[in-house]
Amino acid sequence: MKKLIATLLSITLIASLITGCGNGEKSGSNGDLLELTYFGMKPTTEKTIFTEAEAKTGVSVDFVLSENTTDYAQALALSIASKDMADIIKHSSRADFIKFGMQGALVPLNDLIEKHAPNYKKFLDENPDVKKYTTASDGNIYYIPFVQDGETSTGWFIRQDWLDKLGLPQPKTIEEFYNTMVAFRDNDPNGNGQKDEVPMFGMGAGEGVSSFYGLFNTSNTVMYQEDGKAVYAPMEENFKTAMLTLRKWYEEKLIDGEIFTRKQTREYFIGNDLGGVVHHWFGSTASYTKRFADSVPGLNFVPMAPPAGIDGVQRELERRDKGMNEGWAISSMNKHPEETMKYFDFWWSEEGRRMANFGIEGETYDMVDGKPQLKEIITNNKEKTAVAALNDYGAQLNFGFWQDFSYEEQWADPIAVEGMRMYVENKYVPEKLVKVTYLENEESERTKLNGQLNTYLNEMIQKWILGQEDIESGYDAFIKQLKNLGADELVKIEQAAYDRYLAE
Ligand code: CA
């Protein structure tokens, strides 16, 4: 039965691909334009940044992916296996780009970049981390990535109106933080005469207490230390301290009693005027003050600097990732690799980058004082988010281009923008993100080890925080079990990857 379904699926896929997939033969001239087939989703409007770019690049792209395609990765694998590839391949996996490249399905781009992509070459020279991450172990570059911009994505938020009511400053240290949470619990900041406040709540089911790890400089996975060592954080002393402290806070009812299972935590705790602090995404969390302004009078839920952790350091563990797993590539069936590379390079020019980020001048943005300013149709669209509205025009579709964070600043809540600035300017976020790469055998082994380790780890964290098992007496057995499940092997893989990263 399974086989039959699979066969049927393949036939459907082939049928949907055949209608458009140009296998290189279709590429040719369309008037003065060179037509290149493109394996990627077609934007929904007729006038897009791709049609706008035709006159500037001499290239028109013909989207060949059927709108009905639900399994993109499978459709792509099938087109490669059946040697029916479009000229340009968009995808979202670095591992796949490299795998397909090494199999010969994608053209190595190193020479083409050198000779035909001055904008992208300049970018790579100025961003060696991008070059490092997108180069395969055979030394070839097989794809041009979508590079995310911006430096920070998560941070602390606190009920400033509660602090004001209780006459308290924002907590600066972990001790002050604790005392503030106790005050939130005991002094009725929501003013309803009941002791119903929940000082700290979490990001949602599945996240558990992990959003508070910054206070302890720990994590539930591997961390790369500045001394060049990779460590499995749950086996380090800081993790134990985190567990003991968070258990205490939980027991004292400073943390949401349902932190492991509750969903939509901000709707619940802010909407009902019950929660005091969360560590969460800047962009979305900033919007709650406006959303619940009517139902929670005086609500003022604002970003807060990270309280100094157990080592006295104010830190945000995560830095916004540059992404670089999505992007586009030139298939081996493409008869115009040079022209295609020139076309790719256009999107790294100032004008191309502006279009990729802001869309079409006069339609989605205007130039104001020399800077693109998104129009109301994007920033104040009643039916869709700014990103979705831009996607209709082909902008922000995560093909090979460099995102411009200023596009986000224009639609993001000013509270979020201000908070992110505070985190960056005060250097709470790590200066750079360590982005190691894995060899193919490492990748599969790592996935396996992480899977079994995480299952056990999550189970133990929950038991400990909820008080179902004692942390001190069970700790040695915990470390032993992590080793049984391959924690040391995982560290070995990560150390090798980190060594390569530091050596390159
Ligand atoms: Ca109360």
Handedness of CA 68, 40, 48, 364 (dihedral sign): positive
Q: Where are the domains of the chain?
A: 2-150+323-350
Whole-model pTM: value is: 0.79
Give the rounded distance of the alpha carbon of 116 from its chain centre.
30
Q: How far is the CA of 309 from the centre of ligand 1 (A)?
A: 28
The predicted structure's pLDDT at residue 407: 82
Q: HSE-up of 411 (CA within 13 Å, CB side)?
A: 25
State yes or no: pLDDT of 261 exceeds 60: yes
- CA–centroid distance, 269 to ligand 1, in Å, is 12
CA–centroid distance, 59 to ligand 1, in Å, is: 64
End-to-end CA distance of the chain, in Å?
50
In the structure, what pLDDT confidence band is assigned to residue 29 with cuts at 50, 70 and 90?
low
3-state secondary structure of 162: helix
Homologous superfamily of 2-150+323-350 in CATH?
Periplasmic binding protein-like II (3.40.190.10)
The secondary element (H helix, E strand) that includes residue 126 is: helix 118-126
Q: Is the pLDDT of residue 1 over 50?
A: no
Q: With 80 as the cut, is the pLDDT of residue 66 above it?
A: no
Backbone angles phi, psi at 402, to 5 degrees: -105, 115
Residue 28 pLDDT: 56
- What integer best gives the mean pLDDT of the chain? 91
Burial call 40-63: b when 16+ CB within 10 Å, e when fewer: bbbbeeeebbbbbbbeebebbbbb
What is the tens place of the pLDDT at every residue in 334-363?
A: 999 999 999 999 999 999 999 999 999 999
Of 387, 403, 408, 405, the C-alpha closest to 355 is 403
Residue 464 DSSP one-character state: H
195 CA to centre of ligand 1 in angstroms: 5
CA of 189 to the centre of ligand 1 (A): 6
Q: Could you tell me which residues come within 8 angstroms of residue 356 by beta carbon, excluding any fewer than 6 positions away?
A: 49, 347, 395, 396, 397, 399, 401, 402
The CA 193 to ligand 1 mean position distance, Å, reads 5
Q: What is the chain's alpha carbon radius of gyration, rounded to the nearest angstrom?
A: 26
CA torsion 58-64-67-73 (nearest 10°) is -110
Predicted confidence (pLDDT) at residue 494 exceeds the cutoff of 90: yes
Of 382 and 490, the one with more pLDDT:
490
